[in-house]
Amino acid sequence: MVLPESFYTRKDVLKIARELLGKVLVTEFEGELTSGMIVETEAYAGATDKASHAYGSRRTNRTEVMYKHGGAAYVYLCYGIHHLFNVVTNLQDVPHAILIRAIEPLEGIEAMLERRGKDKLTSSLTAGPGAMSMALGIRTGQTGSSLQGPNIRIEDRGVKVPAKDIVAATRVGVAYAMDDALRPYRFFIKGNKYVSKGKGL
Partner DNA sequence: CAAACGATTTTCT
Partner DNA sequence: GAAAATCGTTTGG
Residue from 81, 120, 164, 191 binding DNA (CB under 7 A) = 81
Residue from 11, 15, 78, 159 binding DNA (CB under 7 A) = 78
Q: Can you tell me the distance from the alpha carbon of 196 to that of 198, in angstroms, rounded to the nearest whole number?
A: 6
Counting every residue written for the chain, the total comes to 201
Stretch that binds DNA, among 7-15, 70-78, 104-112, 157-165 (CB under 7 A): 70-78
**119 and 113 Cβ atoms separated by less than 8 Å:** yes
Under rule CB under 7 A, which residues in 100-129 are in contact with DNA? 116, 124, 128-129
152 touches DNA (CB under 7 A): no
Q: Which is nearer to DNA, 1 or 81 (CB)?
A: 81
Which among 114, 130, 129, 131 has a CA at the least distance from the CA of 30? Answer: 114
**18 and 98 Cβ atoms separated by less than 8 Å:** no
Give a three-class secondary structure readout of 134-160. HHHCCCHHHCCCECECCCEEEECCCCC
Residue from 84, 94, 152, 154 binding DNA (CB under 7 A) = 84
70 touches DNA (CB under 7 A): no
Give the count of alpha carbons within 13 A of 33, CB side only: 8
* Amino acid identity for residue 32 in this structure: E
Residue from 74, 185, 188, 194 binding DNA (CB under 7 A) = 74
Judged by CB under 7 A, the number of residues near DNA is 39
CB 124 → DNA: shortest distance, Å? 5
Which among 125, 103, 94 has a CA at the least distance from the CA of 112? Answer: 125
Which among 156, 140, 110, 113 has a CA at the least distance from the CA of 16? Answer: 156
Binding mask 8-47 for DNA (x = CB under 7 A): ----------------------------------x-x---
* Amino acid identity for residue 192 in this structure: N
Residue from 5, 14, 62, 169 binding DNA (CB under 7 A) = 62
**115 and 137 Cβ atoms separated by less than 8 Å:** yes
Q: Which is nearer to DNA, 6 or 60 (CB)?
A: 60
Binding site for DNA (CB under 7 A): 42, 44, 51-54, 58, 60-63, 66, 74, 76-82, 84, 86, 97, 99, 116, 124, 128-132, 140, 172-174, 176, 196, 198-199
